[in-house]
Amino acid sequence: MAESEWPARGSKTRLMILWLGTAVAVLILTGRLFYWQVMRHNDLREIGQRWQLVDIPIPALRGTIKDRHGFVLALDEYEFEVFATPRDVRDPDGLAAELAPVLDTDQGTLVTLLSQTSEPSVSLVWDAPLQVAREVETIRDQWNAGAIGISPARKRVYPEKEMACHLLGFVTYDHEGDYDAFYGVEEFYSEELRGLEGSWGGASDALNLSISIGSRNVLLPQDGREVILTVDRTIQGLVEDELRRGLSEYGAEKGTIIVMAPQTGAILAMASYPCYDPNPHLGQEIPKELFINPAVSDAYEPGSVFKVVTMAAALDSGTVGRYGTYYDQGQIFVGGHLIVNWDRNAWGTISMTDLLKYSLNVGAATLSTSLGAEGFYDYVERFGFGQMTGIDLPYESKGIMRVPGDGDWREGDLGTNSFGQGIAVTPIQMITAVAAVANDGVLPRPYVVQRIEQNGQIIKEFHPQPGRTAISPLVAKELTEMLVDSLAGKQNLSIPGYAIAGKTGTAQIPVAGGYHPVDTIGCFVGYAPADDPQFIILVKMDRPRESPWGSVVAVPVFRRIAEKLFVYLGIPPDDVRMAST
Amino acid sequence: MKTDPVYLPRVHIRSPAELRSSMRFTGKTMGLFLLVLLLGSLIGSFYLNQASHTAAAGLEVLRLTGERERWRQDSAELRKRISQLESLSNVRRKAEALGFVEADTVEYLGVDNLPSEPSDAGISASPSTEDGHLEEPASEELATWWGELMARFESWMSTRP
């Protein structure tokens, strides 16, 4: 009995071991399956998709920049890379013969490129225009389809070339389709202008070519938004013409002109020279300093134009009345610093209007010292100096202004600052400050973009934002009349029928240890019509050779621009305008 | 005496009824199999049909996406060409070629009692009936109207210095 049961017991044990073994194996397999299928699911799916799915990007076009009337100043276009896979080219000579006239390339060079069978792909042309790409497509259809490829890329185009280059900035694309926006509106509004790239996602075969069945995800690209500027292309064009002409006539090194609507702060034109063509050119080397927009980034000593601020402060504070006078002794000491007039003469009893007319430093210093440091600098700050104007452009400088309490402020600064020496301002700060006088004493906030659109719909609209009140409307009106009177008799400024308010300035250029003995900056800021200002213009000419004076080099440029603006903007002479209102 | 047991094969002979029943079962099975085959074929053909439609639609999507891109490229090219033609330098060059010059001085004339609508034109720009609805002018009327307009234009041109 025991002998007959032994094998049966052994069989059961073996069966048990087999079951256990199987169970353990199943458990292990289940565990591994769980690990790979559940725990590593996402990783594996990602790896699989990477192999199986192809994701073809569809580039979005960067938004267009337009002037206030809708004329295009910057837009994207396509250019095409034409490339070939040499190992698929059966007849390099024949293909090169067909491609050479289309690509405008040497046939021998193409044969060499198409014969490089060790290379997986060779680029024939980087920047073929659309028409060439279409012709290449026709040739490709006649030859082996895999032999020639065409890949679109984007390119930024500035149809007006150099016009408003500092204002617009520029964009560079690389061959991967990535880009960088530098300076100007391009940089400041880059997020708005940037489009959303689309993609075509789907299954791919072993050659990474897309398969037309299976799941896919087509995401259409969304082009960038349109940015509409306050700038008027026609005004910008005439300003640039006059700037170039002025620089040539007076032998100036460089210059800046800004035209602004003083009641809103809208910039109608902003030009600086030398400038550059932002359109990308092969091998083009542009000195980096040209990229900086001098109108908002370059600080300079404003010279006598600053007397407008000093006079405004004196009038508004009640330090002096419009018809007040002072006795000009030809010199004044402020903080131990001797201040003299531009002609080193004593002018005797002088009215406030004549102070402006003859641009007397002693008079300006007399006013600032009468105001006192606290009062004077309070007004200087109210006019926006020492701080950024908030214009929607990058790299705005706030200038250099020392105030009492600063370690490097000296009492003499109170005197020199009153006539624009020892203080550095940007052209945009200066024109904004004088615009406050034209705008009933309220400082406008300058801006260059009026709205942002997408597909014809307005996404954002920028309305004029008045800044702080610098002086009272009454004082602003009085000062305007004084500025008009101070310019009376200046033949090179006279535009018959129109009253113009403004102030000339001739500033010395600081160098190490003092001021340059010869070089100056000549400038003029003026607005018209004086009783209802429609535009304000700042003209700044650096280092003119023909004459050092702003009244000689900047005023004629202002007059020529103003004359044309009266015609272009349809501003009738004062008497006609008064009669019709 | 113990004799070894004799094992005889047990033969089961199906009765005709059993045989018929068995054949019926086989027939049912076959029928079921064919039905499944048929259903499978139907489902298969349906799937293949759908797959081919999907593939065709996928190809169409690919083609349309490509075509859309080509239109976008053409459109961008046209926009660029328009902007270049509209550029200030080009417009100025064309204007100068046509003999236009810049306006240097503008004379403003004061006009008393300037009417808001031109009253002496004599020709209605938009002929309309009394109830305000537009009416298509007869061809003779149109010819007369055009003739009058041209005559006025020529007389105006001839009076110019």
Model confidence pLDDT, tens digit, residues A509-538: 988 888 898 899 999 999 999 999 999 999
- Measured between alpha carbons, how far is B48 from B54 in angstroms, rounded to an integer? 10
The rounded distance, in Å, linking the Cα atoms of A388 and A188 is 15
Give A578 or A481, the one with higher predicted confidence. Answer: A481
Residue A94: count other Cβ atoms within 10 Å of its Cβ. 13
Q: Which of B73, B88, B89, B112 to mutate to test the interface with A (most CBs of A within 10 A)?
A: B88
- Residue whose pair of structure tokens reads 């002072």 in the numeric block: A326
Mean pLDDT, chain B, rounded, equals 76
Give me the CATH number covering residue A474.
3.40.710.10
- Count H helices and E strands in chain A, helices first: 19, 23
Looking at every residue in chain A, the average pLDDT score rounds to 90
Q: How far is B41 from chain A (nearest CA, A)?
A: 22
Considering the domain architecture, whether residues A197 and A182 belong to the same structural domain is answered as: yes
A554 touches A490 (CB < 8 A) = no
- Residue A436 structural domain: 233-281+296-580
Confidence of residue A178 (pLDDT cuts 50, 70, 90): confident
Q: Are residue A213 and residue A340 in the same domain, yes or no? A: no
Domain count of chain A?
2
> Which of A129, A163, A210 is facing B62, going by the closest CB pair?
A210
C-alpha to C-alpha distance for B64 and A548, rounded to whole angstroms: 66
Name the residue among B58, B76, B104 with its Cβ closest to that of A213.
B58
Are residues A304 and A409 part of one domain? Answer: yes
Q: What spatial distance separates the first Cα and last Cα of chain A, rounded to whole Å?
A: 136
Write out chain A residues lying below 8 Å of B74, CB-based: 130
Q: Smallest CA–CA separation between B149 and chain A, in Å?
A: 30
Question: Quick one: residue A447, left, alpha or beta (phi over 0 = left, psi -120 to 50 = alpha)?
Answer: beta
Rg of chain A (C-alpha set): 36
Rounded (to 5) percent helix, strand, coil in chain A = 40, 25, 35
Residues A165 and A252 in one domain: no
CA distance A210 to A61: 24
The answer to whether the Cβ–Cβ distance between A213 and B55 falls below 8 Å is yes
CB pairs under 8 A between A and B: 79
Considering the domain architecture, whether residues A338 and A423 belong to the same structural domain is answered as yes
Only one residue has tokens 């008079």, namely A363
Q: Give the number of other CB atoms < 10 A from CB of residue A152.
A: 19
Q: Which of A61, A76, A573 is opposite residue B108, by nearest beta carbon?
A: A573
In 3D space, the residue among A154, A189, A192 whose CA is nearest the CA of residue A174 turns out to be: A154
CATH number at residue A207: 3.90.1310.10
Residue B144 has pLDDT above 70, yes or no: yes
**C-alpha to C-alpha distance for B21 and B117, rounded to whole angstroms:** 107
Question: CA-to-CA distance for A322 and A124, rounded, in angstroms?
Answer: 75
Mutation site for A-interface testing, chosen from B82, B93, B102, B106 by largest number of A Cβ within 10 Å: B106
A578 lies within 8 A of chain B by CB: no
Closest listed residue to residue A123, CA positions, set A142, A102, A149: A149
Residue A48 within a domain: no
Q: Give the whole-angstrom CA distance, residue A149 versus residue A127.
A: 13
Q: Is residue B27's pLDDT more than 60?
A: yes
* Residue A45 belongs to some domain of the structure: no
Residue A19 belongs to a domain: no
In a domain, A365, yes or no: yes
> What is the spatial distance between Cα A72 and Cα A69, in angstroms, rounded to a whole number?
9
Residues of B in contact with A576 (CB under 8 A): 108, 110
pLDDT band (50, 70, 90) for residue A542: very high
**DSSP code, position A401:** -
Shared domain check, A311 and A183: no
Residue A352 forms part of a structural domain: yes
**Which residues from B are below 8 Å from A when comparing CB atoms?**
51, 54-56, 58-59, 61-62, 65, 69, 72-74, 76-77, 79-80, 82-84, 86-89, 102-106, 108, 110
Tell me which DSSP letter residue B130 carries: T
Among A54-58, A300-304, A385-389, the minimum mean pLDDT is found in: A54-58
State the Cα–Cα distance between residues A443 and A149, nearest whole angstrom.
58
Rounded to an integer, the average pLDDT of A109-136 is 89
Is the Cβ pair B80, A75 closer than 8 Å? yes
**What mean pLDDT do residues A330-352 have?**
92
* A65, A168 contact by CB (below 8 A): yes
Q: Which residue of B has its CA nearest to A238?
A: B88
Same domain for A451 and A360, yes or no, is: yes
User: Checking phi first, is residue A531 left (phi over 0); if not, alpha (psi -120 to 50) or beta?
Assistant: alpha
Beta bridge partners of A510: A515
How far apart, in Å, do the first and last CA atoms of chain B sit?
Answer: 160
A173 touches chain B (CB under 8 A): no
Secondary structure class of A136 (helix, strand, coil): helix
Task: Give the residue from chain A lying closest to B82, CA to CA.
Answer: A72
Cβ–Cβ below 8 Å for A76 and B74: no
Separation in Å, CA of A150 to nearest CA in chain B:
12
A119 with A240, same domain: the answer is no
Instruction: Please give the single-letter amino acid code of residue A539.
Output: V
For A80, the 3-state DSSP assignment is strand
Among the listed residues A202, A95, A83, the one whose alpha carbon sits nearest the alpha carbon of residue A151: A83
Domain ranges of chain B: 16-88
pLDDT of residue B25: 65
Residue that has been written with the tokens 């759908």 in this structure: B50
What is the four-CA torsion angle of A489, A491, A497, A498, rounded to 10 degrees? -80
Residues above pLDDT 90, as percent of chain A: 65
Torsion, Cα of A222, A223, A224, A230 (10° steps): -130
**Which residues, in sequence order, are CB contacts of B62 under 8 Å at separation 6+?**
A210, A212
Q: Strand pairing of A179-182 and A535-542?
A: unpaired
- Pairwise CB contact (< 8 Å): A218 & B80: no
Give the max Cα distance, chain A: 149
CA distances from A280 to A161, A246, A515, B144 (A): 10, 28, 39, 58
Instruction: State pTM to two decimals.
Output: 0.80
Residue A476's pLDDT is 97
* Cα dihedral A549/A554/A557/A563 (nearest 10): -110
Cα angle A522-A528-A531, degrees, rounded to a multiple of 5: 135
Q: Do A213 and B54 touch (CB under 8 A)?
A: yes
Distance (Å) from the alpha carbon of B73 to chain A's nearest alpha carbon: 6
**Closest C-alpha among A385, A484, A466, A475 to residue A428:** A385
Same domain, A148 and A245: no
pLDDT, position B122: 40
Q: Looking at the structure, do residues A146 and A247 belong to the same domain, yes or no?
A: no
pLDDT in tens, B31-80: 888 999 999 999 999 999 998 888 888 788 878 888 888 898 999 999 99
Structure tokens at A188: 């400041």
Strand partners, A351: A325
d(CA A480, CA A474): 10
Which of B51, B89, B110 comes nearest A579 by C-beta? B110
Chain B residues within 8 A of A200 when measuring between CB atoms: 65
> In chain A, what residues touch B63 (CB-CB under 8 Å)?
none
And the tokens for A493?
Answer: 């400024």
CA neighbor of A259 nearest in space, from A571, A565, A568? A565
Same domain for A442 and A335?
A: yes
CA distance A141 to A128: 18
In A, residues 63-82, which contact B (CB 8 Å cutoff)?
64, 71-72, 75-78
* Two tokens, residue A495: 């535009």
Q: Which value, to the nearest 10 degrees, does the dihedral of the CA atoms of residues A317, A322, A323, A327 take?
A: 60
**B87 contacts A159? CB cut-off 8 A:** yes
Report the 10 Å Cβ neighbour count for B26.
10
CB A218 within 8 A of CB A89: no
Q: What is the pLDDT of residue B159?
A: 61
Residues of chain A with C-beta less than 8 angstroms from the C-beta of B77: 77-78, 129-131
Same domain, yes or no: A443 and A484: yes
Min Cα distance A482 → chain B (Å) is 28
**Lowest-pLDDT choice from A92-101, A356-365, A572-581:** A572-581
* Out of B79, B105, B110, closest to residue A75 by CB: B79
Residue A199's closest chain B neighbor by CA? B65
Phi/psi of residue A447, nearest 5 degrees = -150, 155
pLDDT at B152: 72
Q: What number of residues does chain A have?
A: 581
What mean pLDDT comes out for the span A342-353?
92
Reported for A168-174, long-range contacts at CB under 8 A and 24+ positions apart, including other chains, are A168/A65, A168/A73, A168/A74, A168/A278, A169/A278, A169/A291, A169/A394, A170/A278, A170/A291, A171/A62, A171/A74, A172/A280, A173/A280
